[in-house]
Structure 1
């Protein structure tokens, strides 16, 4: 039987250390009974007529209630169900810690003594990067010495009958703060001492009041001296000074509880703590707050600076639907009351305090790197380029970026912000080198050039990248020919494609078009409907020219995916290009492929990357903090998968997807970029199809097959993204299944979890309010429903995001392979432009590609986005120790971690398989992006737990 809903006690028929072995950190009661212990499934209910008095007393001393019915939690040995006798033999209590089992004496049980308990508090110091920080620490040391201390109080699981809430201990200050002020260390441990009476019970929460002048970051707290051993309280949070926030902070132990299982003494704190993170839609958020609330995307434009920088509000609008972001509450612009004002250079958008990058990440990585790029490095490059020329004249000039770099004028003298941002560390993490003596910015050679510098020209490489490149999530199986448009023909012309059977004839290895379709050999990259509504708006802008493309590809018997025909559409006009045998046809084919690659680059960045793995995830983060208590097992589960996401999204809104930001300046769609993203959210995004198997089936790249290991069969076996992704998907699914099964035994346990139901309701109806009426949203009424939702979320923030992010520089770092912008349409025969093309096709090709500034800016940004931070956490890793007190959960996670090692080896073996031609062979890049682990920097591999870049 279990002595409480806390699931930390158990009676077994064992008295020896051998019989009580198992190494699990639980207090158990052992008594001699006539039956031998047997293994039993979790969830077993044992009825006893009357609990033994000594057990009742011990349980009460530890703050645990005892009743005639107990729920047995998963442990190694469970007693066979039967009634205990009225006079059982005296039980013995054993503690199973990390060492050998040991019997707990009556005094340790709290049956006649007080406990002396020590709290060891680990505080992470701020780096002394400024005089202000050093002065702040000295002020705190002085105020601490004067009696203004950091004070802790323990809260029991057991209710105090006088107050009706959890028992409170004495208040205890942190010791030695002033004495340790001079210690040079990233982390410092302080202690606080408590005396607990025998009736206090087990501490389940700790409150902290910071009487210092400045905030402190508490990593964790360990309580030593309790009869059950050390109790851990994960914190990892900023505790503000009482002068900023007079409320005490509350931290719970690492024992997870569903709402219905919450110990009576913690119920009020559980709800109060959860509510403390919820905003009410009012007020301007302060940097030190940890308030989570929702808002629409109304801060992309900057009309106060220039009316041309005005952008429509995304979200809350049927014509421009969008996920919600974290609310900041900044004032409206003077020009447009619906638009939120933007901040000046060097200022940060609000994100809840605990979501802000840790200082080592701030100093060495994304926040400063992006700001340095956008505000200082790019203007410096612009000045430098104005002194020379802005256009690439030849392929050789592009190659010189990697061999000689760009000479920057007055780089250090003109850029004060970079001095503040620590340019040397910034550029190191970008893996670019600025030679301080000569002010030369040099780029690393992209992987696409490393094995075969001419590979990008080949048609088979063009097709291979759709399966294993920077955007391997878009290709679909062709199921109808010719393809048809779903757009309004009165606005956009004939719905029928200009592609004809004669465009494919003779190149299908003896098959007819229909036979090739039936055999699953024809594929399509289709941006026609997604982009055509925006083409005219883009093409009237100077220096931007765009088509809406369709590309038909054929999977050959040799295993290559070859493009056969490209349709490039303007409203009312369509052109079809095919590979030719003469020089002019060859160059026209290269121009057509470049336009397809530019379509792919823009849609990839705006939809598959930004929308599907950044913007749609932010509501999950907000709802988790608002609706799930930190003691909820799902909060503990999800926490590593949302690390840094709000901060990186805020940086993107401020620097990348904003008006006149990197995306608008350097990608073909320009100012209509986020409108394209909104249209895709409206017509394409569905939560139920974001799971990897469902996405593959939706695109026709897989079919359901119960006989296959993953439940689906790939149409193309050699599809590196899909085949490696399914390994990760299955591992994530198994880990989710095991974890959820520990806490939810049946549908009722899911339906009765008020926090879980509020979490999912808020995600659907508030975070994704513009899609709340869609019928495809999953319900969460059973454990299986919950497992499916969690598996999809974890996949999106880990494997999916890795696949569309960390290969960007490998393929996009060489602009001819993946031009971010196209500046000219393909000339038509009989025009002056066509004569220019015939006279110098290479020069014309260069004039169609990004100019030097656009190319180098994009290269710098995607270099940064493709890099891993030094403190990255990958699938199968949890940097926070003692993240849960549940041994079964820890064991399940260990199995998940071991599976990541297995996947590493499987992927390495696949990359050596000569029959898998999309990842092995002469000049072919291996597909390593979904190998779970990586070192820091730009490695083209590694699957982080979260969307942290």
Structure 2
């Protein structure tokens, strides 16, 4: 069905009477409204702007444009609270079981009492959550059901749940603090790290992380698939020789691989902003390695070729894979150095800086510049649900002094904060668009890099969102002149670029450009966040595989190391438990999948009301059908892949950045 020649939309709205908690039945552009209606729009935007204001003075993220507060419309739904608390209680059960393990024996009586009291509080929280779940008839296995509960009662119950969340957070913090202070021993072994999973299943990577192929696979299907760069020549400060390359990739020449575009680099030089920190008197280390990978002739998947554990080649020699007894553990140390760097780059640059904080800027600009009868307001607002709230919570509890980033990441908290600030303020909107990003990193061609699950699945989702945005926009903008004539759109774009400090954002002059912009906003808030968030549970909870700090200086030679020295690089057991608990929570909450547009308050009504959008053959139905087709294609791909990639299945992509 084509919307190119659809009849013009005649605005019929009465702004004062609209249900502004959901998309309006009669969206309109300001140039199509009467003078009176335009004045109503201006008044509504002015009133909303009182609630949504900018600040760049949040101490933990200085200079980043954020909302001054979290307005009531951006508070999470009661269904979201249920999901978060359910995961939190699982974490509490696991911590309770871990503290009984012999590794943590010898706790003082005072410490044991703290834990006992905390577990009693946790049981009380569990009982109250179960009672509220029954009251609201919310099924933990699926979306919330309709309820006749009054809005006022629901709001009160949300406040109760928020109080329980605070209690739960305090319980977990208290237990982990006790373990930090009182643990009887810190005997590190891979078995001991696996024993931290008592009531929570250990992820598969806990048994495969030493495999070199798994190490390479993380660049294309792990938490950070965004750094890999195709190169045509070896960097001067990373002097990998032809002989070293040939020793790893049998039957291949480095010159041929470079000429054919089969060589790839991960360079962590941007971590130079980080300063090594200290935890309880112990030095922590941040590394800035370089790692080289290649696809063998006729092959499909990356192979690790070489690692240099720092930027200075005169200090850090090139290391290559080796099974030699004298070189094996030096190679494992080098891989661990890369994983520490990747963890920092992932959390600070890719996750926090390039999804959470980017979406917040656009969310605030949208509320402040688009009337709630504007069609783009209805299209975009569901993709910001919960973002301001979760970002505010992260500022208070995650990236603050004494929080998890301060504890198990290697940099001082101030330098970690500044790294996230740098990532956010250097985010280039148009260059980061998924197809553009792949092209700029020289990873777009499946013929050269066949095995890149993130790329292949991301493009399916990107295209589905792009089709949805194009069809939606064509309903309301009959031509490019309608785009340039939209004064609210122009002000919105200006606000994103200036007040929101999104570099590269420019005036929008065509329907095609507007489609790309909306696709990027939706993709970033949903699919991109899912791709970098949910591996936190399945990959990043196991510290020997991925962690935020090294606990000894990077090796300056490959020979002569043993397993004990390798284990010394890993975090103390209590910090490994804190990492497990924090990232399990962040990577376990799936709330409202992409394409499911509903309000965030009971009875969770459908969001869109315009018949032109919600008709049986309209854009929304086509989008949902397109997502089902993408799901089927990814499932079919995973049946053929040696290792399934599930993070971009639409059923596993939340609509917004809400955790």
TM-score, normalized by length of structure 2?
Answer: 0.81
State the alpha-carbon separation in 1 of the partners of residues 189 and 255 from structure 2.
42
1:785 to 510, 513, 518: 513
Q: Is there any run of 5+ residues in structure 2 with no aligned partner, and where?
A: 86-161, 599-604
- 2:8 is matched with 73
Matched, 1:652 2:394: yes
Could you say what secondary structure the match of 1:766 adopts?
coil
State the alpha-carbon separation in 1 of the partners of residues 373 and 530 from structure 2.
29
How much does 1:539 deviate? 12
State the alpha-carbon separation in 2 of the partners of residues 265 and 601 from structure 1.
54
- 1:929 is matched with 647
- 2:100 is matched with none
Q: Is there any run of 5+ residues in structure 1 with no aligned partner, and where?
A: 1-21, 23-38, 44-71, 76-156, 158-201, 208-232, 238-251, 280-290, 301-312, 316-322, 328-349, 406-441, 485-495, 704-712, 914-918, 934-941
Matched, 1:204 2:14: yes
How much does 1:649 deviate? 0.4
- 1:908 is matched with 635
State the alpha-carbon separation in 2 of the partners of residues 42 and 811 from structure 1.
49
Matched, 1:853 2:574: yes
What is the total number of aligned residue pairs between the two structures? 572
- 2:525 is matched with 797
Matched, 1:234 2:25: no
Contact 2:351 2:533 in 1 (8 A): yes
- 2:213 is matched with 460
- 1:739 is matched with 472
How much does 1:297 deviate? 4.3
- 2:170 is matched with 375
Structure 1 segment 541-552 matched on structure 2, within 5 A: 542-552=282-292
Structure 1 segment 622-771 matched on structure 2, within 5 A: 622-671=364-413, 672-681=415-424, 685-702=427-444, 715-768=448-501, 771=503
- 1:559 is matched with 300
Q: Say if 1:254 and 1:498 are closer, same or farther in 2 by CA, change over 3 A.
A: same
Structure 1 segment 270-419 matched on structure 2, within 5 A: 270-279=41-50, 291-300=51-60, 314-315=62-63, 323-327=64-68, 350-362=69-81, 364-365=83-84, 371=166, 375-384=170-179, 386-389=181-184, 391-402=186-197, 405=198
Could you say what secondary structure the match of 1:276 adopts?
helix
Q: Say if 1:806 and 1:369 are closer, same or farther in 2 by CA, change over 3 A.
A: farther
- 1:807 is matched with 535
Contact 1:499 1:567 in 2 (8 A): no
Deviations 1:472-504 (A, max 9, x none): 2221112221x14xxxxxxxxxxx334333332
Deviations 1:324-373 (A, max 9, x none): 0012xxxxxxxxxxxxxxxxxxxxxx311111112343355276787556
How much does 1:882 deviate? 5.7
State the alpha-carbon separation in 1 of the partners of residues 464 and 557 from structure 2.
55
How much does 1:808 deviate? 1.1
How much does 1:734 deviate? 0.7
State the alpha-carbon separation in 2 of the partners of residues 443 and 698 from structure 1.
40
How much does 1:715 deviate? 3.4
Q: Say if 1:851 and 1:538 are closer, same or farther in 2 by CA, change over 3 A.
A: closer
Higher helix fraction (1 or 2): 2
State the alpha-carbon separation in 1 of the partners of residues 42 and 225 from structure 2.
44
State the alpha-carbon separation in 2 of the partners of residues 533 and 799 from structure 1.
28
1:946 to 647, 656, 659: 656
State the alpha-carbon separation in 1 of the partners of residues 581 and 280 from structure 2.
28
Q: Say if 1:750 and 1:392 are closer, same or farther in 2 by CA, change over 3 A.
A: farther
Matched, 1:824 2:557: no
State the alpha-carbon separation in 2 of the partners of residues 392 and 866 from structure 1.
28
Could you say what secondary structure the match of 1:735 adopts?
helix
1:877 to 570, 586, 596: 596
Larger radius of gyration: 1
Contact 2:301 2:451 in 1 (8 A): no
Could you say what secondary structure the match of 2:646 adopts?
coil
Q: For structure 1, which segment, 530-539 or 356-365, has the greater mean C-alpha deviation from structure 2 after superposition?
A: 530-539
2:585 to 864, 868, 873: 864
State the alpha-carbon separation in 2 of the partners of residues 506 and 847 from structure 1.
29
How much does 1:40 deviate? 10
Could you say what secondary structure the match of 2:304 adopts?
strand
State the alpha-carbon separation in 1 of the partners of residues 29 and 620 from structure 2.
19
Contact 1:324 1:768 in 2 (8 A): yes
Between 1 and 2, higher relative CO (CA 8 Å, sep ≥ 6) is seen in: 2
State the alpha-carbon separation in 1 of the partners of residues 493 and 79 from structure 2.
34
Contact 2:408 2:549 in 1 (8 A): yes
Matched, 1:473 2:194: no
State the alpha-carbon separation in 2 of the partners of residues 800 and 738 from structure 1.
22
State the alpha-carbon separation in 2 of the partners of residues 503 and 356 from structure 1.
56
Contact 2:410 2:550 in 1 (8 A): yes
- 2:138 is matched with none
Matched, 1:506 2:247: yes
Contact 1:535 1:570 in 2 (8 A): no
Q: Say if 1:369 and 1:796 are closer, same or farther in 2 by CA, change over 3 A.
A: farther
Contact 1:525 1:552 in 2 (8 A): yes
Contact 1:314 1:678 in 2 (8 A): yes
- 1:42 is matched with 5
How much does 1:724 deviate? 0.6
- 2:145 is matched with none
Deviations 1:37-57 (A, max 9, x none): xx99626xxxxxxxxxxxxxx
State the alpha-carbon separation in 2 of the partners of residues 462 and 400 from structure 1.
22
Contact 1:535 1:548 in 2 (8 A): no
State the alpha-carbon separation in 2 of the partners of residues 894 and 811 from structure 1.
35
